[in-house]
Amino acid sequence: MADKDGIKDAKEFGIGIPQVTEGFHVKGCNHYGWGMKSRLSKIFNPKSGKSLMLAFDHGYFLGPTSGLERLDLKIPSLVDYIDCFMGTRGGMTTCIDPAITANKAIALRVSSGSSILDDDLSNEIVSVDIAEAIRMNADLMATQVYIGAPYQTKSIDNLSKVICAGNTYGIPTMGVVAVGKEMERNAKYFRLATRIIAEVGAQVVKSYYCDDFDSVAASCPVPIVIAGGKKIPEKDALEMCYNAILMGAAGVDMGRNIFQSEDPLAMVQAVRAIVHDGIDSKEAFDMFNELKTK
């Protein structure tokens, strides 16, 4: 109903309700610009604050790894249940129809330079520049960071260069914790690695689940998404996913435990239900078993 100033019901204008400018739903990113926040909102669902990224960038150093022999056949079938594609420039441009990326975020792998033929994987370069990331409509750039490895400093320099370029254009960066062969995957190491990546200025960190993961998530001032790591039984992978979310992960950037699953379509839906609907791992495993029979 119009009042004396002709303004309709105050409710419709939110008059008296403070505009939300504080407490952006992505941890530690409240002070970034509009564009950065818009891209982060495509990745992290504003309702759940979480993200399900499907990682299929493995070929950049592993080649046609099991389950990814044909990206064009495997990845599109999962699109309805993911929030974000995480792939390489070549993998996406050759195998992913840009039309299916509508309403999905794009996380672009921008580092490379190592292969499984190397003893040490840490000697990487930034192989995709900011101009290409903009051309690819990237919402996030991902680069590997090797804390404690021979080329640690070079990988941190790569990270910093990607962050600087990304900040210039409002594209967030994800630092990917790469666990060197000698590194022990424990909370102490992950607290160190994730915090270094965040302090260099990454807006997102990808790491791994571990015992005491809550201490890792709590001491990292930006969101952590967890990689799934090597394929494990679906029940265990769903339990890991649930525990990680329970202990503060902002989602997953999972690859092998989805695309190497006996039923990737059932698995991605079960993972999604944990990440966004908050079901527990038992419910998720029941869901997986029910879906795979269909």
Stretch that binds ligand 5RP, among 14-22, 31-39, 70-78, 226-234 (CB under 6 A): 226-234
On the CB side of 190, CA atoms within 13 Å amount to: 23
Residue 77 near residue 265, CB atoms below 8 Å: yes
Per CB under 6 A, does 165 bind ligand 5RP? no
Per CB under 6 A, does 267 bind ligand 5RP? no
Per CB under 6 A, does 176 bind ligand 5RP? yes
255, 269, 276, 287: residue in contact with ligand 5RP (rule CB under 6 A): 255
Per CB under 6 A, does 253 bind ligand 5RP? yes
Stretch that binds ligand 5RP, among 53-61, 124-132, 164-172, 285-293 (CB under 6 A): 53-61
29, 36, 40, 55: residue in contact with ligand 5RP (rule CB under 6 A): 55
Q: What is the Cα–Cα distance from 263 to 291, expressed in whole angstroms?
A: 9
Per CB under 6 A, does 227 bind ligand 5RP? yes
Is the Cβ of residue 26 or residue 254 nearer to ligand 5RP in the bound state? 254
Is the Cβ of residue 25 or residue 256 nearer to ligand 5RP in the bound state? 256
Per CB under 6 A, does 27 bind ligand 5RP? no
Is the Cβ of residue 121 or residue 247 nearer to ligand 5RP in the bound state? 121
Closest-approach residue to ligand 5RP (CB): 255
Per CB under 6 A, does 87 bind ligand 5RP? no
Q: What is the Cα–Cα distance from 95 to 281, expressed in whole angstroms?
A: 32
Per CB under 6 A, does 254 bind ligand 5RP? yes
166, 172, 175, 228: residue in contact with ligand 5RP (rule CB under 6 A): 228
Residue 138 near residue 95, CB atoms below 8 Å: no
To ligand 5RP, the closest distance from the beta carbon of 165 in angstroms equals 20
150, 170, 201, 229: residue in contact with ligand 5RP (rule CB under 6 A): 229
Residues acting as catalytic residues? 206
Residue 193 near residue 147, CB atoms below 8 Å: yes
Is the Cβ of residue 29 or residue 144 nearer to ligand 5RP in the bound state? 144
Is the Cβ of residue 89 or residue 256 nearer to ligand 5RP in the bound state? 256
Convert residues 58-77 into a mask of x (bound to ligand 5RP by CB under 6 A) and - (unbound). Answer: x-------------------
Query: Mapped to the 3 state alphabet, what secondary structure does the chain carry?
Result: CCCCCCCCCHHHHCCCCCCCCCCCCCCCCCCCCHHHHHHHHHHCCCCCCCEEEEECCCHHHHCCCCCCCCHHHHCHHHHHHCCEEEEEHHHHHHHCCHHHHCCCEEEEECEECCCCCCCCCCCCEECCCHHHHHHCCCCEEEEEECCCCCCHHHHHHHHHHHHHHHHHHCCCEEEEECCCCCCCCCHHHHHHHHHHHHHHCCCEEEEECCCCHHHHHHCCCCCEEEECCCCCCHHHHHHHHHHHHHCCCCEEEECHHHHCCCCHHHHHHHHHHHHHHCCCHHHHHHHHHHHHHC
Q: Which positions lie near ligand 5RP, rule CB under 6 A? A: 55, 57-58, 86, 176, 227-229, 253-257
